[in-house]
Amino acid sequence: MLAVGIAVLQQPGHVAEAADKLDCLTCHKYRGLSRVDEEGKFRLFYVNNELFQSGPHRRNNCRDCHTDIDRIPHNPAKAVDCLQQCHLVEPSGNVKFSHKSIAETLARSVHGKLDAQGQPKPHAEDYPRCKDCHEEPLYRPLSVFKGVVKHGVSERSISRCKSCHKSGNFAEDFYEHVTSRLHKTRFPLETIETCAKCHQDPEFRKRHKLDDVVTTYKHTFHGKLMLLGSERTPDCLDCHVVEGENTHLIEAKTVPTSATHKANLPNTCRASDCHARAGAMLAGYQTHVTYDRHKYPLEFYMLVFFKALMAFVLYFFLALIFLELMRRLFPKFAFFKDNVPHHAVEKPKNDKNKKKES
């Protein structure tokens, strides 16, 4: 029985051990594996292998990224440098893979640390590095069968790959790699939360003189439908990246090539999958309205009008209802009595009071 128990416990989940040639999980599988580092920060070293095996890095060995580990048990490892070359060969150019080109794109974007003259921008430490936006990524494979697109792996499709590509997990890896990129690799709400980490932080916004673009976005139909589960409405990247451009190339609206530059905005709204039939004037729609009196006067004064109307109407009637309920407790009391004969009809002049029933 013990043997059976051990056998069950050691069942590998999803051919996991491929990436774990060095048996790192011997220790890192324990959920409590942690320590307080030299700076007093609590660090957790647990590796959730099930999650790791669901992402694009699953074919890498631990040491492909954690290169400074040379013995077990090892010394504190350095932070991973995402820009290093790894042992995988990128098939289209047959060169070793690196995320360097992404970093170069990012450096050209509004999120780059250096300005056009190569000088660090003010508060350069606020600008994001890879891991500020990217957690360990996960695949989001799509299943397409008879015109129905769903989340997940289509066993029917993958079986067609596997009839030729038999060895290893090649078919699975390739399938997930490709279908995850046929749509957004992250759920749109996740993208918004990623941007919100900085752009919703009041201190950060004060330092960089930015409006709360995340909250204002959530007030639009785009944001609201997304909160209700839609993936069809745009997230931040859809409007701030030129259609077909690398998503890391977000540019300030003052840059002529930016998706949100005045001259390009009509085409951003009219991107092929969005408001394709719309006129150029759609770009005049203000997405990030803060109800600032000077910046958005129309919206501000309309809002004041409606809130005032609402307050007036509701306070008037709620006071009336309250007093009326109170009045019922003392129906006959009054400071002044007036004795009008009960059958006398009150009538202002000229009031004919016609009945109009059919």
**Which residue ranges make up the site for another protein (CB under 8 A)?**
218, 221, 223-225, 227-230, 232, 275-286, 289, 298-299, 302-303, 306-307, 309-310, 313-314, 317-318, 320-321, 323-338, 340, 342-348, 350-358
Question: In the bound complex, what is the minimum distance in angstroms from residue 245's beta carbon to another protein?
Answer: 23
- Site of tokens 């409007």: 239
CB nearer to another protein: pick between 39 and 338: 338
Shortest distance, CB of residue 322 to another protein, whole angstroms?
9
Place of tokens 């259609």: 243
Q: How far is the CB of 220 from another protein (least distance, A)?
A: 8
For another protein, the closer of residues 42 and 335 by Cβ is 335
- Closer residue to another protein, CB minimum distance, 149 or 310: 310
What angle, 0 to 180 degrees and rounded to 10, lies between the N-to-C axes of helices 155-162 and 170-180? Answer: 130
Contact partners, residue 275, CB within 8 Å, separation at least 6: 269, 282
Nearer residue to another protein within complex by CB, 8 or 298 = 298
| DSSP code for 345 | P
Among residues 59 and 219, whose Cβ is nearest to another protein?
Answer: 219
Cα 22 from chain centre? 36
DSSP 92-129: TTTEE--SHHHHHHHHHSTT-SB-TTSPBPTTGGGS--
C-alpha pair distances (Å), 18 with each of 56, 87, 135, 169: 14, 15, 22, 10
Report which residue type is found at 227. Answer: L
Q: How far apart are CA 114 and CA 108, in angstroms?
A: 9
Nearest approach, Cβ of residue 341 and another protein (Å): 9
Q: How far is the CB of 120 from another protein (least distance, A)?
A: 37
Q: How far is the CB of 342 from another protein (least distance, A)?
A: 4
The residue (of 206 and 332) whose beta carbon lies closer to another protein is: 332
Contacts with 274 (C-beta within 8 Å, 6 or more apart), sequence order: 234, 238
Q: Pick between residue 72 and residue 308 the one whose CB is nearest to another protein.
A: 308
Are the C-beta atoms of 222 and 215 separated by less than 8 Å? no
Which residue's CB is nearer to another protein, number 42 or number 330?
330
How near is the Cβ of 57 to another protein at its closest, in Å? 33
Q: Which of 191, 217, 195 is nearest to 204 (CA)?
A: 195
Task: Give the integer Cα–Cα distance in Å for 150 and 153.
Answer: 9
Q: Which helix (H) or strand (E) holds 215?
A: helix 213-218
Q: Minimum distance between the CB of residue 189 and another protein, rounded to whole angstroms?
A: 11
